[in-house]
């Protein structure tokens, strides 16, 4: 069986399982592959990552130790605090003004609610969470 990530012409994404690649091609050509959300038969394959089976010789996944990760997050936080402007609770508004070129571009950081962050991302404003660290970890 082959699983394909599929997308209809309305942008709905869904999965389809087929016995072979040619089975998908035949069903799609015959209009038998339809979107479960809008019933559109105008469907195409989406981007997918291949499933690759591991071997006994493959190396185990190495998980970085927590101390190293905290050091890296601390370094990131310190860099941002030393080189970017803290706009506090005005972050969403300032980020939008920079995004829409109403202000000169510059690195900023501040606070937003989860809803504000979601709205910024949906608008295409590039944002990323900054690691929150205790005072003990920063010193």
Sign of CA pseudo-dihedral 132, 83, 64, 50: positive
Hey, which residues does 8 pair with through a beta bridge?
43
For tokens 């591991």, name the residue.
54
pLDDT category of residue 65 using cuts at 50, 70 and 90 = confident
Instruction: Give the separation between CA 17 and CA 23, rounded to whole angstroms.
Output: 10
Residue in 49, 40, 6 with CA at minimum distance from that of residue 24? 6
What is the percent of the chain with per-residue pLDDT over 90, rounded to a whole number? 39
Is the pLDDT at 37 greater than 90? The verdict is: no
Question: What pTM was estimated for this model as a whole?
Answer: 0.50
pLDDT for 139: 44
Whether the CB-CB separation of 46 and 7 falls below 8 Å is answered with: yes
């Amino acid at each position: 069986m082959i699983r394909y990530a599929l997308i209809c012409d309305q942008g709905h994404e869904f999965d389809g399982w087929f016995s072979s690649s040619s089975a998908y091609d035949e069903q799609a050509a015959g209009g038998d592959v339809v979107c479960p959300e809008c019933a559109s038969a105008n469907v195409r394959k989406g981007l997918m990552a291949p499933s690759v089976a591991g071997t006994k010789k493959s190396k185990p996944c190495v998980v970085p130790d927590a101390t190293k990760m905290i050091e890296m997050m601390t370094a990131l936080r310190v860099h941002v605090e030393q080189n970017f402007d803290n706009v506090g609770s005005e972050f969403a508004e300032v980020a939008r003004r920079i995004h829409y070129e109403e202000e000169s571009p510059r690195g900023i950081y501040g606070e937003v609610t989860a809803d504000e962050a979601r709205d910024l991302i949906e608008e295409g404003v590039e944002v990323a969470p900054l690691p929150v660290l205790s005072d003990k970890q920063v010193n």
